[in-house]
């Protein structure tokens, strides 16, 4: 019996192996294609980084002139650009905190409780994601004009929260839906109040999802031009200012800011990979 058992086991093991010769059979073309596409994605990034070290001859930073570090040392010397960057960071921080809280609450309600109107709510949350940004932007503008609300930082924050909530819900839901509700029940059976069981059991489990959602909301906010342009009034954010400046020549410092934001991404990727390796 024991012999027969091991016999079956060895018979069952090999199916994992044939994946290798199968891979070789396909040839290298798919891999080469993938490499080319990824290289193509990096083309504008490399150009951006390189021209951050350029000292352009005229207003437009289009042609290589001479190497300089000056754009890095004078990074914050263009007052309007620095102010636009500060506005962007303020808007992104406030809207991220609020939309992450609101969105997480919705995600918890959707996955952990049964109530009437659930599918309706799902549809309601899907529509903002399925609408073109320009429509979201102008509809808010129409509302603010009708109500006579002056546009500025406040209205930008409101607009950014409105479009991030759905993305937060979707991201957090991916984490909460796989959660075992028995854990929370067990905590309460052992005498924990609902509040205590939430903060000591549920929240730590969904935290990675909340963090990812917050990061997404922050990036979406920092990057947004279309919705912002309709609700900004005279206030400028980083994308708005750069877009406006593109007509008369974008200062080289913009390349440097792009490079630094890109480097934050690089650090994030390295940290993610190192953590993954450690877990293995």
Partner 1 sequence: MRETRRRRIAYLLLVPGVLFLTVFFLIPMFTMLSTSFMEGTPERGFDFTGHWQNYMESFSDYDTQIYRSLVYGLIVTVVTLALSFPLAYWIAFRGGRRKNLYLLLLLLPFFTPFVIRTLAWKQILADNGIFLGPLKDLGVLTDDFQLLATPTAVLGGLIYNFLPFMALPLYVALERLDPRLLDAASDLYSDRRQTFFKVTLPLAMPGIFAGSLLTFIPAVGDFINSELLGSVRTTMIGQVIQRHFLTTLDFPAGAALSFLLMAGILVGVFLYARALGTEELTG
Instruction: Report the residue from 75, 84, 92, 140 that binds partner 1 according to the rule CB under 8 A.
Output: 140
105 is a site residue for partner 1 (CB under 8 A) = yes
Q: Where are the alpha helices (DSSP H) in the chain?
A: 2-12, 19-25, 29-51, 70-73, 79-112, 118-130, 133-147, 153-176, 181-189, 194-197, 203-223, 226-231, 238-245, 253-279
Within residues 146-205, the interface with partner 1 by CB under 8 A covers 146, 158-159, 161-162, 165, 169
Structure tokens of 166?
A: 């759905």
55 is a site residue for partner 1 (CB under 8 A) = no
97 is a site residue for partner 1 (CB under 8 A) = no
One character per residue 112-131, x = contact with partner 1 (rule: CB under 8 A): xxxx-----x--xx-xx-xx
Question: What are the distances in angstroms from CA 241 to CA 5, 76, 87?
Answer: 71, 14, 11
- Report d(CA 24, CA 16) in Å as an integer: 15
- Report d(CA 263, CA 261) in Å as an integer: 5
Within residues 14-53, the interface with partner 1 by CB under 8 A covers 15, 18-19, 22-23, 26, 30-31, 33-34, 37-38, 40-45, 47-48, 51
226 is a site residue for partner 1 (CB under 8 A) = yes
**C-alpha dihedral sign at 179, 180, 182, 188:** negative
- CB-nearer residue toward partner 1: 4 or 130: 130
- Report d(CA 130, CA 194) in Å as an integer: 36
1 is a site residue for partner 1 (CB under 8 A) = no
One character per residue 238-257, x = contact with partner 1 (rule: CB under 8 A): xx--xx--x---x---xx-x
- Smallest gap from residue 147 Cβ to partner 1 (A): 9
- CB-nearer residue toward partner 1: 4 or 15: 15
- Number of residues engaging partner 1 in binding (CB under 8 A): 89
């Amino acid at each position: 019996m024991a012999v027969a058992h091991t016999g079956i086991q060895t018979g069952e093991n090999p199916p994992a192996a044939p994946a290798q010769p199968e891979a070789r059979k396909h040839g290298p073309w798919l891999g080469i294609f993938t490499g080319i596409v990824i290289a193509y994605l990096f083309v504008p990034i490399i150009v951006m980084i390189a021209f951050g070290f350029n000292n352009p001859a005229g207003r437009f930073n289009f042609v290589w002139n001479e190497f300089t570090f000056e754009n890095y040392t004078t990074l914050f010397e263009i007052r309007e650009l620095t102010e636009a960057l500060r506005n962007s960071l303020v808007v992104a921080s406030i809207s991220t905190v609020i939309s992450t809280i609101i969105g997480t609450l919705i995600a918890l309600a959707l996955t952990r409780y049964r109530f009437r109107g659930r599918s309706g709510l799902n549809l309601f949350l899907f529509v903002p994601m399925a609408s073109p940004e320009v429509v979201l932007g102008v509809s808010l503008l129409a509302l603010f004009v009708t109500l006579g609300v002056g546009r500025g930082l406040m209205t930008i924050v409101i607009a950014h929260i409105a479009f991030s909530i759905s993305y937060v819900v979707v991201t957090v839901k991916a984490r909460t839906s796989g959660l075992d509700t028995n854990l929370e029940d067990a905590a309460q059976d052992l005498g924990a109040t609902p509040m205590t069981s939430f903060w000591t059991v549920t929240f730590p489990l969904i935290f990675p999802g909340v963090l990812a959602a917050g990061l997404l909301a922050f990036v979406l906010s920092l990057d947004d031009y279309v919705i912002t342009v309709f609700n900004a009034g005279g206030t400028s954010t980083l994308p708005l200012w750069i877009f406006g400046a593109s007509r008369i020549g974008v200062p080289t410092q913009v390349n440097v800011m792009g490079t630094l934001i890109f480097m934050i991404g690089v650090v994030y990727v390295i940290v993610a990979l190192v953590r993954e390796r450690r877990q293995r």
